[in-house]
Amino acid sequence: MVDGTRRGDLDGAQEPDLSVTPFCNTFPIRRTPAGAGASLTLDTCFVDGATMTVARSRQRYDRLSPDRLRYVDLGLFAGFAAEVQVDGRGLVVRYQHLFERLAPVSSLT
């Protein structure tokens, strides 16, 4: 459902993907098999934060090592690929060219 309307084109999309945050990548990253060389291909419900549009998009996650994956877009942005580094919980630490998690700043008292 988008704005209260059923969208048949989104049926079967397995995960949400919100463009303005790498947090949504955690869902498929945790589902990607652990061994180097393993991969997961799935359809997502892509929400473009800038335009607030929703569309189905196909993605692949290739496991490079326990804490590194290659994201490959096979749908809306076909041809885009980036390396993604994650922590032990599968949360993105660095998403090549797009996001990098910053260490918390200690408070000054």
pLDDT digits (tens, 9 = 90+) for 40-92: 999 999 999 999 999 999 999 999 999 999 999 999 999 999 999 999 998 99
Beta bridge partners of 83: 70
The whole-chain average pLDDT of the chain stands at 92
Q: Is the pLDDT of residue 103 over 70?
A: yes
Q: What is the largest CA-CA distance in the chain?
A: 55
Which DSSP helix (H) or strand (E) runs through 38? none
Give the residue among 92, 3, 101, 81 at the shortest CA–CA distance from 47: 3
Q: What span, in angstroms and rounded, lies between the C-alpha atoms of 11 and 58?
A: 13
Is residue 1 scored above 80 in pLDDT?
Answer: no
Q: Is the pLDDT of residue 105 over 90?
A: no
At 108 the pLDDT is 67
What residue spans define the domains of the chain? 8-100
